[in-house]
Amino acid sequence: MSSKEIDDVSGTETTGHEWDGIKELNTPLPRWWLWTFYATIVWAIGYMVLYPAIPLVTGSTKGVLGYSSRADVAREIAEAKTGMAGLLDKVGSMALEDIRKDPDLFQFAVAGGRSAFSVNCVQCHGSGAAGGKGYPNLNDDEWLWGGSLDAIHTTLVHGIRFEGDDDTRVSDMPAFGRDGVLDTAQIDDVAEHVLALSGQEHDQAAAERGTAIFEENCAACHGAQGEGIADVGAPALSNAISLYGGDKASIVETVTNARRGVMPAWGRRLDDATLKQLAVYVHSLGGGQ
Partner 1 sequence: MTIVHDSVERIDVEAVNRKETRSLYEARVKIFPRRGYGSFRTLKWWVMAVTLAIYYVTPWLRWDRGPHAPDQAVLVDLANRRFYFFFIEIWPQEFYYVAGLLIMAGVGLFLVTSTVGRAWCGYTCPQTVWVDLFLVVERFIEGDRNARIKLDKAPWTFDKIRKQVAKHALWILIAMSTGGAWIFYFADAPTLALDFIRFEAPAVAYTTVGILTATTYVLAGFMREQVCTYMCPWPRIQAAMLDEDSLTVTYNDWRGEPRSRHHKRQEQAGVAVGDCVDCNACVAVCPQGIDIRDGQQLECITCALCIDACDTIMDKVGKPRGLISYSTLTDYASNKAGKPAPTTWRSFIRPRTVVYVAVWSVVGLAMLAVLLTRSRLDVNVLHDRNPVFVQLADGSVRNGYTVKILNMLPEPRTFRLAIDGLPGATMTRAGSDAADAAVIDVPVDPDTVGSMKIYVRAEPAGLAAVRSSFTFQVTEIGGRGEAASYEANFEVPGGGK
- Point out which residues bind partner 1 (CB under 8 A): 100, 106, 126-130, 137, 139-142, 199, 236, 239-241, 284, 286-287
Please, which residue, 125 or 153, has the CB nearer to partner 1? 125
162 vs 281, which CB is nearer to partner 1? 281
List, in sequence order, the alpha helices (H) in the chain.
31-50, 69-93, 96-101, 103-120, 122-125, 149-158, 184-197, 204-217, 219-222, 248-257, 272-283
**Least Å from the CB of residue 15 to partner 1:** 24
Rounded to the nearest angstrom, the gap between the alpha carbon of residue 5 and the centroid of all alpha carbons in its chain is: 74
Tell me how far apart the alpha carbons of residues 270 and 119 are, in angstroms, rounded to a whole number: 11
Selection from 125, 126, 135, 155 nearest residue 233 by Cα: 155
DSSP string, 18-46: EETTEEEE-PPPPHHHHHHHHHHHHHHHH
- For the CB of residue 57, give the shortest distance to partner 1 in the complex, in Å: 41
Closer to partner 1 by CB, 16 or 286: give it.
286
Burial of 121 (0-12, 13-18, 19+ CB in 10 A): buried
In whole angstroms, the minimum distance from the beta carbon of 133 to partner 1 comes to 13
Min dist. Cβ of residue 250 to partner 1 (A): 15
Q: Rounded to the nearest whole angstrom, what is the least distance from the CB of residue 128 to partner 1 in the complex?
A: 3
Q: Specify whether the CB–CB gap between 133 and 279 falls below 8 A.
A: no
Q: Are 130 and 243 in contact (CB under 8 A)?
A: no
Closer of 63 and 246 to partner 1 (Cβ): 246
Q: Give the shortest CB-240-to-partner 1 separation in angstroms.
A: 4
Please identify, using beta-carbon distances, which residue of 233 and 267 lies nearer to partner 1.
Answer: 233
Residue with smaller CB distance to partner 1, 66 or 199:
199
* Residues comprising the chain, all counted: 289
